Structure 1
Amino acid sequence: MDGLAEFEECGRLWVRGAVPAADLDQLATAIPSDGRPGIRPDTGLPAFRYFSGHDPVGALARRLGLSPHPVRFVAFQKDETANWSVPWHQDRVVAVADRHESPGWSAWLPKGAYWHAEPPEALLERMIFIRLHIDAADETNGCLQLALGSHREGRVPADAASDIAARYPVEHCRAAPGDLLAVKALTLHRSAPSVSGAPRRALRIDYADRAMLPAPMSWALQPAAMSG
């Protein structure tokens, strides 16, 4: 099975060793150290100029048929002072510049200067996130776990996520620094707490079909915002 066929079947694709160590040192400065899971980092930091659309992460997004310009960033830092777990779930929220009522959009919530909302399933089906591993990850420090193929279930209610995930093989996403993991947005995933205390830093970069937003909506994160 080639990479793209595997991605469609399993909902994930690995690219090992894609980002060199020198770049990881720069990108690590973009991860806040306040201990909160799922932090939205400041995309105005110099480190985010890395994501120009010509970087290895953007190249992977382009290979998977999407614009190489991100629509959202989330930073994760799990260690002995910041440890947590999350149950099986889907990430179904996008960040847009302003609130505009449109069919299929729901759960509007202002966050800082932008709005977060849950878009129609058709848009989510065309979204991926790419996880850029700053540190090594395995079962001992709470690596990501995926229910492979679960993206084919479509939108899953939160109270059914665990039962539905049990129908699919689970992959513990063991990674080395610099590895990239592309995941379809509707894939069920979870994370266990760390038992080792070893740091597990990662950046999650969301990509979408940027043209699918209904007018006059616009993505909160625009390519020019990271050009410096």
Structure 2
Amino acid sequence: MNPIAAPCTLAAQLVADGHATLPMLYTPAEVTALLACIESAPAAGPNFRRSQDVFAIRNVLGEIPALWPLLATPALREVLSALLPVGGHLTKAIYFDKPAQSNWLVAWHQDLMINVDRRADLPGFGPWTIKADWVAVLENTYTIRLHLDDCDATNGALKVVPGSHQRGVVPPETIADFTATPTVCAVPAGGAMLMKPLLLHASNRSTSTRPRRVIHLEFSAEELPAGLAWRERRPVVVG
């Protein structure tokens, strides 16, 4: 099993800063297997988006079921046991590939949406697309961004504002007030960045010849009210 930070340390850092980095969650051999699995999958359908700037697969575990057994290693389960000691479920999975020399950037924002399977008129949700906005759920959600390439400021590493997740939903017109001195979260291949969805984050255009391939996973122990269900719910075994 790959070495993981002490559970209390990891959980405490996420509470205080809203993010943490695990430099080696997967071995080089495990990363190679993950990439081979993704690259061998048919790249067609409504969940696949491809352009010169990005290749993305939404609901990637639904599109590539063979990926989950490769992701659900003892090391990942150890991390999840630290974050969700009473158990939980995966709620979203996306694959991103920011190619070399991509001009795609992501402006400062918080992740304010959760994926649900249908629209339901319930207090605290809306505006509606196929997603719902519910801050209480987001506050108890954890994102794990698994990096399949070395990632730094030159190829789109995330910039974050530590502690900004504690401010609730930040009005868009005030976001610039908090982003003058961000932290760049460099992560080696096989490492992971953990973050809270309400953490302010952004990424620059790539200026290097290296790609940035990431598997974005979201986990929660929250149960949604009657009438709603997680669109990509998948139970996870912790410990």
- TM-score by structure 1 length? 0.84
Describe the SS at the equivalent of 1:105.
coil
Say whether 1:43 aligns with 2:61: yes
Query: Following the alignment from structure 1 to structure 2, what is the Cα–Cα distance between the partners of residues 37 and 126?
Result: 29
Query: Following the alignment from structure 1 to structure 2, what is the Cα–Cα distance between the partners of residues 151 and 105?
Result: 20
Which residue of structure 1 aligns with residue 3 of structure 2?
Answer: none
> Paired residue for 2:34, among 24, 27, 32?
27
Structure 1 residue 125 displacement after superposition: 0.8
Structure 2 letter corresponding to 1:132: L
Query: Following the alignment from structure 2 to structure 1, what is the Cα–Cα distance between the partners of residues 56 and 173?
Result: 21
Runs of 4+ that moved beyond 6 A = none
Describe the SS at the equivalent of 2:67.
helix
Describe the SS at the equivalent of 1:14.
strand
Question: Is the 8 Å Cα contact of residues 90 and 220 (structure 2) preserved in structure 1?
Answer: yes
> Paired residue for 1:116, among 131, 144, 165?
131
Structure 1 residue 184 displacement after superposition: 0.9
- Post-superposition Cα deviations, 1:55-80, rounded to whole Å, max 9, x if no partner, equal 43343232112645310012221123
Which residue of structure 1 aligns with residue 23 of structure 2?
Answer: 16
Structure 2 gap segments, 5+ residues each: 1-7, 44-48
Query: Following the alignment from structure 2 to structure 1, what is the Cα–Cα distance between the partners of residues 179 and 191?
Result: 25
Structure 1 gap segments, 5+ residues each: 110-114
Query: Following the alignment from structure 1 to structure 2, what is the Cα–Cα distance between the partners of residues 38 and 190?
Result: 17
Structure 1 letter corresponding to 2:96: F
Question: Is the 8 Å Cα contact of residues 51 and 69 (structure 1) preserved in structure 2?
Answer: no
Structure 1 residues 58 and 157, CA gap change in structure 2 (3 angstroms): farther
Which residue of structure 1 aligns with residue 234 of structure 2?
Answer: 223
Structure 1 residue 51 displacement after superposition: 4.3
What percentage of residue pairs aligned between the two structures are identical? 29
Structure 1 residue 140 displacement after superposition: 1.1
Task: State the aligned residue count.
Answer: 215
- Post-superposition Cα deviations, 1:147-192, rounded to whole Å, max 9, x if no partner, equal 11111111112232222333xx521111111111110110000000
Structure 1 residue 22 displacement after superposition: 2.0
- TM-score by structure 2 length? 0.80
